[in-house]
């Protein structure tokens, strides 16, 4: 059970210190400088600030938490109750375990409830705000204010220097620096690959970044399916050993919808994606349908079970025009097998412009899983999407941002 404590209102001296377009010319000494005022950076700053650390957060965007604001269709799917390490992709599948176990979905939910933000569970453990994602950003900024954190938005990071055990960013300096600038997905929101460039400059390895949770594009034979733009159906999408049972959506460029976004994180160029249409049908269902209604054509059977346009395209491809009773069992078995694993060969994805996250990133081998500190550069940390940990669709990526931000916030 959750213990919900009332959160006293902020004192006048604790209103959020947000500076815009700060020039930072006077020397300023902090305990930690956090680059990026997104989900992970704000959580880290709030935790460290409330531990008494003097914290500066710098972001080039005009406002903090812009991806939070557009997330979950404006309602922010802020966590998932089913959060478990196997719902994350990483070169080291064990890396995320420590942080995820020390800051759980229930911890974040307790924070949300302390701020009296109404929420609901949508499906599959996904928690959303009833109102607006803006409440989550306001909550994080309020927590930062309680820790006396300075947030500098609209501020260019410029050169980052490291000497005598201190990091210097403009006129600010600190013994701890946290890379929290996320990944390059959705560049029009101000997303950049800055985290990777900076990490490489400090000698940290970066696992090749790639767009993830992204629509896939179809060409060649498969392009005919693009005529189904707007049609969706419940399917199982498979790629390698990964499988997701959710909706797939045909688009004018290819495939999207939750099942495809999920599988896209596992897909690599040249690999097929197999789609099971009618995944709930028992093996032998077409032969059984033949026995029950031999006068029915396959087209009608499929139209009864799938959106009409999709049923027609599949039926045309299966090339079975006659009644089931006139169709040999082996052809029905072959049709059933094809419907259970319809092979698509995507020729690409819609790229960073449409990717909800970036997979890959700063190599986990470079970091402590407990503190997110770089093993070889004392004081340097990396958190959130910048790190090679990528969650499934459904609130997992924010949970990683909160958990990794919390872990680093305890340390800096």
> Least CB distance from residue 288 to ligand FAD, whole Å?
41
Question: CA separation (Å) from 273 to 229, 266, 343, 369?
Answer: 18, 10, 6, 33
Taking CB under 6 A as the binding criterion, the range among 46-54, 63-71, 96-104, 301-309 that sits at the site for ligand FAD is: 63-71
- Strand partners for 178: 34, 381
206 and 67 Cβ atoms separated by less than 8 Å: no
Q: In terms of CB distance, is 72 or 209 closer to ligand FAD? A: 72
Q: Is residue 70 at the binding interface for ligand FAD, with CB under 6 A as the rule?
A: yes
Burial pattern 98-123, b for ≥16 Cβ within 10 A else e, equals bbbeebbbebbbebbbbeebebeeee
Pairing label, strands 150-153, 17-20? parallel
Question: Which residue's CB atom is positioned nearest to ligand FAD?
Answer: 38
The reply to whether 76 sits near ligand FAD by the rule CB under 6 A is yes
Residue number with CB closer to ligand FAD (36 or 346): 36
Q: How far apart are CA 66 and CA 372, in angstroms?
A: 23
d(CA 260, CA 404): 27
Cα(148)–Cα(143) distance, integer angstroms? 9
Per DSSP, the residues of 213-281 read S--EE--GGGGGGGGGTT-EEEEEEEETTEEEEEEEEE-SSEEESHHHHHHHTT--TT--EEEEESTTS
Long-range contacts of 130-135 (CB under 8 A, 24+ apart): 130/75, 131/75, 132/74, 132/75, 132/76, 133/68, 133/69, 133/70, 133/71, 133/72, 133/74, 133/75, 133/76, 134/69
* Residue 86 CB, nearest approach to ligand FAD (Å): 16
Q: How far is the CB of 376 from ligand FAD (least distance, A)?
A: 22
CB 403, CB 99: distance < 8 Å: yes
Judged by CB under 6 A, the number of residues near ligand FAD is 36
**Contact between 356 and ligand FAD per CB under 6 A:** yes
**Please, are residues 34 and 180 in contact by the beta-carbon 8 Å criterion?**
yes
* 401 lines the binding site for ligand FAD (CB under 6 A): yes
Q: List the one residue from 37, 172, 179, 233 that touches ligand FAD (CB under 6 A).
A: 37
Shortest Å distance, C-beta 358 to ligand FAD? 8
**Contact flags string 109-148 toward ligand FAD, x per CB under 6 A:** ----------------------------------------
| Binder among 32, 34, 40, 259 for ligand FAD (CB under 6 A) | 40
Q: Does 257 bind ligand FAD (CB under 6 A)?
A: no
Binding mask 263-302 for ligand FAD (x = CB under 6 A): ----------------------------------------
**Residue of 286, 310, 357, 374 that binds ligand FAD (CB under 6 A):** 357
| Residue keyed to tokens 């006129």 | 171
Shortest distance (Å) from residue 179 CB to ligand FAD: 9
Among 18, 39, 278, 389, binds ligand FAD (CB under 6 A): 39
Residues at the contact surface with ligand FAD, assessed by CB under 6 A:
36-41, 59-61, 66-67, 70-72, 76-77, 157, 180-182, 185-186, 190-192, 194, 356-357, 384-386, 395-398, 401
């Amino acid at each position: 059970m959750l213990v919900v404590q009332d959160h006293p209102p902020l004192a006048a001296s604790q209103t959020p210190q947000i500076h815009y377009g700060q020039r930072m010319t006077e020397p300023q000494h902090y305990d930690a400088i956090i680059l990026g005022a997104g989900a992970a950076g704000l959580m880290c700053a709030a935790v460290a600030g409330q531990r008494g650390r003097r914290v500066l957060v710098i972001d080039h965007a005009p406002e903090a938490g812009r991806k939070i604001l557009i997330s979950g269709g404006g309602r922010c799917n802020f966590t998932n109750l089913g959060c478990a390490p196997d719902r994350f992709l990483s070169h080291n599948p064990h890396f995320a375990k420590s942080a995820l176990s020390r800051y759980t979905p229930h911890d974040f939910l307790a924070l949300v409830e302390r701020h009296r933000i109404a929420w609901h569970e949508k499906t599959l453990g996904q928690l959303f705000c009833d109102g607006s994602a803006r409440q989550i950003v306001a909550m994080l900024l309020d927590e930062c204010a309680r820790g006396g954190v300075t947030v500098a938005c609209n501020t260019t990071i410029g050169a980052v220097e490291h000497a005598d055990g201190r990091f210097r960013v403009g006129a600010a300096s600190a013994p701890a620096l946290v890379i929290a600038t996320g990944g390059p997905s959705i560049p029009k929101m101000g997303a950049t690959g800055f985290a990777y460039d900076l990490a490489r400059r400090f000698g940290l390895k970066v696992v090749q970044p790639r767009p993830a949770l992204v629509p896939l594009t179809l060409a060649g034979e498969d392009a005919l399916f693009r005529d189904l733009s707007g049609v969706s159906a419940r399917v199982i999408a498979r790629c390698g050993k990964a499988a997701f049972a959710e909706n797939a959506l045909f688009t004018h460029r290819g495939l999207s919808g939750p099942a495809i976004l999920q599988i896209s994180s596992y897909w690599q160029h040249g690999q097929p994606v197999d789609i099971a249409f009618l995944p709930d049908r028992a093996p032998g269902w077409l032969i059984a349908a033949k026995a029950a209604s031999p006068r029915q054509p396959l087209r009608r059977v499929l139209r009864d079970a799938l959106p009409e346009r999709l049923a027609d395209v599949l039926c045309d491809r299966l090339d079975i025009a006659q009644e089931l009773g006139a169709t040999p069992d082996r052809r029905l078995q072959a049709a059933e097998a094809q419907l259970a694993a319809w092979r698509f060969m995507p020729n690409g994805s819609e790229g960073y412009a449409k990717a909800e996250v970036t997979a890959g990133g700063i190599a986990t081998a470079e970091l402590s899983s407990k503190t997110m500190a770089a093993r070889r550069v004392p004081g340097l940390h990396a958190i959130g999407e910048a790190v090679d940990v990528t969650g499934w669709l459904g609130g997992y990526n924010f949970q990683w941002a909160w958990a990794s931000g919390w872990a680093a916030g305890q340390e800096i």
